[in-house]
Amino acid sequence: PDVIIEAQFDDNDAEHGQDHLQDMLTDDIKKLSLDTGEKGKAAGVTGVQRTKQDDGPKVNDPRLLPDEFLQRTAKVVYILEKKHSRAATGFIKLLADRNSELFKRCAMFSPVDHRVPRVYVPLADCPPDFVSKPEAYSQMLFICRIVDWKEDSNFASGQLCKSLGQAGEIEPESEGILTEYGVDFSDFSPEVLECLPQNLPWVISPGELAKRRDLR
C-alpha cells in the first residue's frame, strides 16, 4: 500500500533550508522500510498478517451488527386500502413550453395541497376560452381527479371535474375540502326526509324526556 508521510516543521526548521527537511524525510522512510520488513518476516513465520484495521472486529454479516449501526429498509408489497380520494382542489395554467406537442393537448393543474402531485389535464376539460384568456382563470378553483400516474412521468394524469368558483370565498373553499376528503354533501333523499317528524315544531314528549339523561 502507498505510504503517506506528513512532516510538520516550524519556522526554525524552515531556516535550516530544504536539506534538513529532506534528511528528516529520508530517515522516516528508512524506519518505515525496516518496520515493514520485520513485520513481513513475522508474517512469514506465523502465517498471520495484521494491519491497523485488524485491531477491531470484522463482521461480514450485517445481521450480526448492533441495531444502532443498521438502516432499516422495506418494500411495499400490497396496498390494503386507498385512503385518498384522488380528488384535489387547485388551479389550471398553460404549459411553459408553447412549442411542444403536449402544449396543444394538455394544461397543468397545480393542487393547493402540495402533498398532491401536479397533474396533466386535457384542454378539452378546460373552459373554451382558457387558451386565449388564461389570466381570467388564474384565481379560479377547480376540482381535478387523478386517473393515472406513469412510472416514467414526473406528473400525473387527470380530468377536471368541475369549476368551484373564486379562490378565497367560503362556498368554493368548503366544497373543495369536502370533495377532497370524500364527504357526501349532496341533498338528502326523500326516503331519508320521510324518517323525520312531520308535525312541526317537534318537541320531546315529557315521558321520553324523563327516560333520558339531560346533557344540555
Chain segment 77-89, per-residue pLDDT in tens = 998 988 888 999 9
Using alpha carbons, select from 11, 8, 2, 1 the residue that is nearest to residue 25.
8
pLDDT > 70? residue 201: yes
63-83 mean pLDDT: 86
CB-side exposure of 98: number of CA atoms within 13 Å?
A: 2
The number of angstroms, rounded, from the C-alpha of 88 to the middle of its chain's C-alpha atoms is 18
Binned at pLDDT 50, 70 and 90, residue 1 comes out as: very low
**Residues 138-177: tens digit of each pLDDT:** 999 999 999 999 988 899 999 999 899 999 899 999 999 9
Q: Which three cell numbers stand for residue 210?
A: 324523563
Q: 87-181 has which CATH code?
A: 2.40.50.700
pLDDT at position 199, please? 83
Over the stretch 88-111, which tens digit does the pLDDT of each residue have? 999 999 998 888 888 989 999 999
pLDDT level of residue 190 (50, 70, 90 thresholds): very high
| 54 contact partners, CB below 8 Å, separation of at least 6 | none
Mean pLDDT, residues 26-42 taken together: 58
Res 92: pLDDT: 94
- Strand-pairing partners, residue 121, are 107
Lowest-pLDDT range of 15-24, 41-50, 148-157, 180-189? 41-50
Residue of 45 and 116 predicted with greater confidence: 116
Spatial distance between the Cα atoms of 139 and 169, rounded to a whole number of angstroms: 11
How high is the mean pLDDT of the chain?
Answer: 80
Residue with cell 513475522: 42
Task: Choose among 113, 121, 154: nearest CA to 137.
Answer: 121
Q: Averaged over 30-41, what is the pLDDT?
A: 56
Distance CA 116, CA 89 (A): 10
Residue 59 has pLDDT above 70, yes or no: no
3-state SS class at 116:
coil
Q: How far is it, in rounded angstroms, from Cα 216 to Cα 210?
A: 14
Span of 19-28, 29-38, 50-59, 143-152 with lowest mean pLDDT = 50-59
pTM score, two decimals? 0.55
21 against 171, higher pLDDT: 171
